[in-house]
Chains A and B, each alone.
Chain A
Amino acid sequence: NAGVTQTPKFRVLKTGQSMTLLCAQDMNHEYMYWYRQDPGMGLRLIHYSVGEGTTAKGEVPDGYNVSRLKKQNFLLGLESAAPSQTSVYFCASRTSETNTGELFFGEGSRLTVL
């Protein structure tokens, strides 16, 4: 059972380049999230989705775009990468049933912007 899978796991970009991170989950979860993790700052929410075709901004959305065309996939795009976007990105998903609440995380995607 794969759970939450992120691709790619590592990427190096030059300033101004664009790229897309793919998150795929096989648990039929409604909710999906993109976080970035930076030292001493914990995880900060970039964008999230509460269902297919819906997206919303989180805590730090600037410079990122997302799409959720299929329930199992949540894409995070950087149109023009900046060094400040160097980070580890985590995708997570969860069921909509509020009596569980657990987030399931991917293994992370490490992005370096030069």
Chain B
Amino acid sequence: AQSVTQLDSQVPVFEEAPVELRCNYSSSVSVYLFWYVQYPNQGLQLLLKYLSGSTLVKGINGFEAEFNKSQTSFHLREPSVHISDTAEYFCAVSDLSWGKFQFGAGTQVVVTP
């Protein structure tokens, strides 16, 4: 079984400032890792994913995340946020078989001018 912990429930940030959203996971097997974004009143959209290869993955809108196997972390970073990045962000893990996803509780990012 897997579990996902998002360490911050809410992150306020000023426009054009950097932001880091923390995600730690636990699993007894190898996993895939994902970040999803949910804009207000919408479903979740994939932001980026780590399946294999380079531990630094880049996603849409300038977001990137780094997989750290020794620390079992997959933190998300954005070097310069925009007002439009205001949303809830979910970290998720999936095993390598048929893909049962486990989601974190979410981190609400509020970007202000």
Do B43 and A98 touch across chains, with their CB atoms under 8 A apart?
Answer: no
Do A96 and B98 touch across chains, with their CB atoms under 8 A apart?
Answer: yes
Do A101 and B94 touch across chains, with their CB atoms under 8 A apart?
Answer: yes
When distances are taken between beta carbons in the complex, the residues of chain A under 8 Å from B104 are 42
Nearest chain B CB to A110's CB is how many angstroms away?
Answer: 9
* Residue interface mask B87-104, A partner, CB < 8 A = 1: 000100010111111011
> A26: CB under 8 A from chain B?
no
Do B32 and A107 touch across chains, with their CB atoms under 8 A apart?
Answer: no
Interface residues on B, range: 20 to 34
| Residue in contact with A31 in the complex, picked from B4, B96, B98, CB distance below 8 Å | B98
| Residue in contact with B43 in the complex, picked from A40, A41, A48, A90, CB distance below 8 Å | A90
> B9: CB under 8 A from chain A?
yes
Q: Once the chains are docked, how many angstroms separate the CA of A33 from the CA of B101? A: 10
> B25: CB under 8 A from chain A?
no
Q: Once the chains are docked, how many angstroms separate the CA of A106 from the CA of B103? A: 16
Do B9 and A98 touch across chains, with their CB atoms under 8 A apart?
Answer: no
Give the nearest-CB partner of A108 in chain B. B43
> B17: CB under 8 A from chain A?
no
When distances are taken between beta carbons in the complex, the residues of chain A under 8 Å from B103 are 35, 42-44
* Residue interface mask B65-95, A partner, CB < 8 A = 1: 0000000000000000000000000100010
* Residue interface mask B1-45, A partner, CB < 8 A = 1: 000101001000000000000000000000010101000011111
Do A101 and B105 touch across chains, with their CB atoms under 8 A apart?
Answer: no
> B56: CB under 8 A from chain A?
no
* Residues of A near any B CB (own CB < 8 A): 4, 31, 33, 35, 40-45, 48, 50, 90, 92, 94, 96, 98-99, 101-103, 105-108
Identify 16 residue pairs between A and B in the complex whose beta-carbon atoms are under 8 Å apart, listed by A's number.
Answer: A40-B105, A42-B4, A42-B104, A42-B105, A43-B90, A90-B43, A92-B44, A98-B99, A99-B51, A101-B94, A102-B34, A102-B49, A105-B43, A105-B44, A107-B41, A108-B41
